[in-house]
């Protein structure tokens, strides 16, 4: 029974069809594995009955969708009806939405069940899961011969750890500036952020609305394609939702890249990146050549300005979005203060953690009278140039290959400087600013036995080429390494 | 450009986050570090560049001007820290 948790979603689906096992057996295996893995701190709430109910619907033939009988982990940023939804923050402790996010409703419509809510950096602000009010998720991975606790990355760190530790076959993530791709790379799994607007943002706790995008995290490229197909789709309740049909990404998967040109951006060769990561990048180019693609050198001249642009726009939008946490409508309220204004200030002081406060402060400053044009408008102009860089590059190539992150997973508590932490997303942020689909797939292990990811960026709406290139890398990398179980 | 403790206090007030003098003193250099770093955008020539407003081009949709929601007062109030008589309750604002 235990080996059911080792199967991919595609294998589970096949086994259910051939009646090799039941959905109930899958749900029970996962529920057992989840409750035995508390040491990872990956789940904030577990919902074993939800997984069992979905299994029952699948076994009885009532649920017949593409994910019938598949239990999933759901990032705590997605509103789930009647189940705590806290965005990893004290300010939302105890919040139980009366509604379901569009993405999770879509997954349920496809027959999926829920194993529980997954831990994350507070309001998705972080790259290591250390800003969560529940404490950090621990990566199932450790350096060879060491028992130092490592971060699974962030902000979708609980999702990455759960998929890697086989306590979820797949999970939802969200990506504002790398929050699906960096943790996927750190945990040795796959994760894709689709084109901005593919997945509805309705019912996802907002961080930076012009950047936030949901996507799946799973063990294989195929599973990502299956999950994304179920998650995506037009939603009139999100004004930036794309009114387009959802392509059949899974059915159209093909690792034959003949005729495709792979752009290699010269600006992504930056100082301080370990040689192993650049070597894996070169290996990735060889793999794509082997699949029939032709590499071309491209230039994305404003790359170095992407992070500072992001750290104006994202905090600005966050400061505005997070104004809603005022102790009036939901979540925490600090009592014992006299005026309404004092209640707001005391509630927000107690409810938000240090990184969230820092970003609200930066955002408030760059939007304040006298500084708006110098910071915010300037950043929106540079963002336009970054988008233009990609548009020009895609005249010369069909996809872009880079490393996902500038390092492998680091230790909990090892990175204390906020700026050093922000640099983790140096390769991920430009595609976010341009709204482009991008994916991380595992490429191999570093010298310390930790996973490294390769990052594929596609042209807007071209998730298919991203997934196909991911599949080509997956087939050639033969990444089968698993973390040794210590939890 | 660097922010003073006084400015940090003002931003905290705008952001409605109560902060002690000690917190303000700790935060000011952190904010200055971050602001000093983002100011490198000043190097980029953005003359004649329109600020980006929509990352993926699309038409702004209009919906029919009809009521299609509502009558969910109890759901809206269900998570309120204090609700009375069908309203959100807050500390007294008028004596």
Chain mean position to CA A351: 24
* pLDDT > 70? residue A2: no
* pLDDT > 80? residue A49: yes
Alpha-carbon separation of residue A284 from A264, A281, A476 (angstroms):
11, 5, 9
From chain B, the residues in CB contact with A329 under 8 A are 76, 79-80, 88
Alpha-carbon separation of residue B41 from A177, A272, A431, B53 (angstroms):
18, 22, 18, 18
Structure confidence by residue, pLDDT tens digits, A297-340: 999 999 999 999 999 999 999 999 999 999 999 999 999 999 99
- Is A394 part of the contact surface with chain B (CB cutoff 8 Å)? no
* Euclidean distance between CA atoms A329 and A350, whole angstroms: 16
* pLDDT > 70? residue B29: yes
* Residue of chain B whose Cα is closest to the Cα of A347: B17
ipTM of the complex: 0.96
Q: What is the DSSP string of B41-61?
A: GGGS--TTPPPP--SS--PPP
Catalytic residue among A155, A156, A159, A200: A155
Interface of A with B in 266-305 (CB under 8 A): 302, 305
- Give the residue numbers spanning the domain of A269: 1-487
Distance from B53 to chain A by nearest Cα, in Å? Answer: 8
Burial of A19 (0-12, 13-18, 19+ CB in 10 A): exposed
Looking up tokens 């800003």 gives A131
Distance from B91 to chain A by nearest Cα, in Å? Answer: 5
* Euclidean distance between CA atoms A32 and A48, whole angstroms: 9
Confidence category of residue B1, pLDDT binned at 50, 70, 90: low
Q: What is the DSSP string of A149-193?
A: -B---SSSHHHHHHHHTTS-SEEEEEESSSTTHHHHHHHT-EEEE
The yes-or-no answer on residue A179 being catalytic is: yes
Pair type for strands A170-175 and A43-46: unpaired
* pLDDT > 50? residue A1: no
* pLDDT > 80? residue A88: yes
Distance between terminal CA atoms of chain B? 43
**Phi-psi region at A486: left, alpha or beta (left = phi > 0; alpha = psi -120 to 50):** alpha
Rounded to 5°, angle at Cα B1 from B20 and A358: 35
Q: What are phi and psi of A80, to 5 degrees?
A: -125, 125
Looking up tokens 């994916």 gives A439
* Euclidean distance between CA atoms A295 and A300, whole angstroms: 15
In this predicted structure, what is the pLDDT of residue A208?
A: 98
- Is A339 part of the contact surface with chain B (CB cutoff 8 Å)? yes
Identify the H or E element spanning A402. strand A399-403
Structure confidence by residue, pLDDT tens digits, A457-467: 999 999 999 99
- Is A416 part of the contact surface with chain B (CB cutoff 8 Å)? no
Structure confidence by residue, pLDDT tens digits, A239-294: 999 999 999 999 999 999 999 999 999 999 998 899 999 999 999 999 999 999 99
Confidence category of residue A198, pLDDT binned at 50, 70, 90: very high
pLDDT, mean over chain A: 97
Distance from B73 to chain A by nearest Cα, in Å? Answer: 11
From chain A, the residues in CB contact with B48 under 8 A are none
**CATH number where A328 lies:** 3.90.1300.10
Pair type for strands A451-458 and A438-445: antiparallel
Please state, for a pLDDT cut of 90, what percent of chain A lies above it: 98
Residues 6+ apart with CB under 8 A from A288: A257, A260, A262, A295, A401, A469, A472, A473
* Euclidean distance between CA atoms A150 and A22, whole angstroms: 35
- Domains for chain B: give ranges and CATH numbers: 5-42 (1.10.20.60)
Please state the domain count of chain A: 1
Confidence category of residue B59, pLDDT binned at 50, 70, 90: confident
Provide the 10 A C-beta neighbour count for residue A487.
15
* pLDDT > 80? residue B95: no
Q: Best of B11, B24, B43, B44 to disrupt the A interface by mutation (most A CBs within 10 Å)?
A: B44
Structure confidence by residue, pLDDT tens digits, A140-195: 999 999 999 999 999 999 999 999 999 999 999 999 999 999 999 999 999 999 99
- Is A420 part of the contact surface with chain B (CB cutoff 8 Å)? no
**Phi-psi region at A82: left, alpha or beta (left = phi > 0; alpha = psi -120 to 50):** left
Structure confidence by residue, pLDDT tens digits, A375-421: 999 999 999 999 999 999 999 999 999 999 999 999 999 998 988 89
Provide the 10 A C-beta neighbour count for residue B20.
9
- Is A234 part of the contact surface with chain B (CB cutoff 8 Å)? no
A308/B51 CB distance under 8 A: no
């Amino acid at each position: 029974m235990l080996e059911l948790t080792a199967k991919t979603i595609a294998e589970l689906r096949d086994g259910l069809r051939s009646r090799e096992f039941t959905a109930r057996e899958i749900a029970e295996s996962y529920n057992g594995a989840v409750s035995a893995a508390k040491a990872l701190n990956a789940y904030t709430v577990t919902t074993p009955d939800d997984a069992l109910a979905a299994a029952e619907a699948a076994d009885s033939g009532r649920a017949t969708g593409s994910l019938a009988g598949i239990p999933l982990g759901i990032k705590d940023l997605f509103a789930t009806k009647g189940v705590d939804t806290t965005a990893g923050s004290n300010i939302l402790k105890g919040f139980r939405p009366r509604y379901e996010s569009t993405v999770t409703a879509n997954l349920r419509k496809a027959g999926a069940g829920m194993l529980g809510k997954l831990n994350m950096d507070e309001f998705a602000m972080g790259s290591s899961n250390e800003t969560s009010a529940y404490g950090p998720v621990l990566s199932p991975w450790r350096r060879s011969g060491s028992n130092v606790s490592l971060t699974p990355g962030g902000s979708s760190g609980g999702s990455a750890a759960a998929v890697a530790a086989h306590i979820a076959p797949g999970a939802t993530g969200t990506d504002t500036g790398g929050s699906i791709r960096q943790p996927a790379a750190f945990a040795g799994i796959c994760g894709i952020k689709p084109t901005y607007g593919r997945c509805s943002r309705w019912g996802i706790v907002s961080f930076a609305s012009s950047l936030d995008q949901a996507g799946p995290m799973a063990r294989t490229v195929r599973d990502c394609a299956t999950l994304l197909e179920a998650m995506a789709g037009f939603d009139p309740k999100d004004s930036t939702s794309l009114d387009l049909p959802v392509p059949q990404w899974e059915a159209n998967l093909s690792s034959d890249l003949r005729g495709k040109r792979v752009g290699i951006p010269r600006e992504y060769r930056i100082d301080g990146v370990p040689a192993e990561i650049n070597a894996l990048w070169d290996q990735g180019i060889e793999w794509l050549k082997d699949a029939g693609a032709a590499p071309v050198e491209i230039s994305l001249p404003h790359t170095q300005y992407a992070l500072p642009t992001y750290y104006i726009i994202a905090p600005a939008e966050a400061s505005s979005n997070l104004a809603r946490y005022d102790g009036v409508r939901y979540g925490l309220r600090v009592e014992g203060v006299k005026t309404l204004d004092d209640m707001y200030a005391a509630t927000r002081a107690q409810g938000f953690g240090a990184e969230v406060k820092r970003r609200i402060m930066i955002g408030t400053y760059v939007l304040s009278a006298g500084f708006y044009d110098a910071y915010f408008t300037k950043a929106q102009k540079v963002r336009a140039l970054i988008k233009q860089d990609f548009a020009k590059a895609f005249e010369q190539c069909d996809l872009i290959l880079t490393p996902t992150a500038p390092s492998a997973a680091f230790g909990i508590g090892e990175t204390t400087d906020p700026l050093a932490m922000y640099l983790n997303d140096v390769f991920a942020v430009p595609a976010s600013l341009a709204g482009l689909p991008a994916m991380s797939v595992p490429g191999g292990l570093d010298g310390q036995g930790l996973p490294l990811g390769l990052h594929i960026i596609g042209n807007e709406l071209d998730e298919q080429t991203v997934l196909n290139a991911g599949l080509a890398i997956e087939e050639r990398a033969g990444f089968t390494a698993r973390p040794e179980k210590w939890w | 450009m660097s922010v003073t403790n006084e400015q940090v206090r003002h931003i905290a007030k705008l952001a409605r986050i109560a902060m002690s003098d000690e917190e303000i003193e700790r935060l000011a250099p952190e904010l200055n570090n971050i602001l000093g770093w983002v100011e490198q955008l000043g190097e980029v020539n953005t003359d004649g560049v329109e600020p980006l407003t929509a990352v993926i081009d699309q038409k702004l949709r209009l919906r029919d001007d009809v009521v299609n929601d509502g009558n969910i007062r109890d759901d809206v109030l269900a998570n309120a820290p204090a609700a009375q008589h069908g309203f959100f309750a807050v500390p007294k604002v008028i004596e």
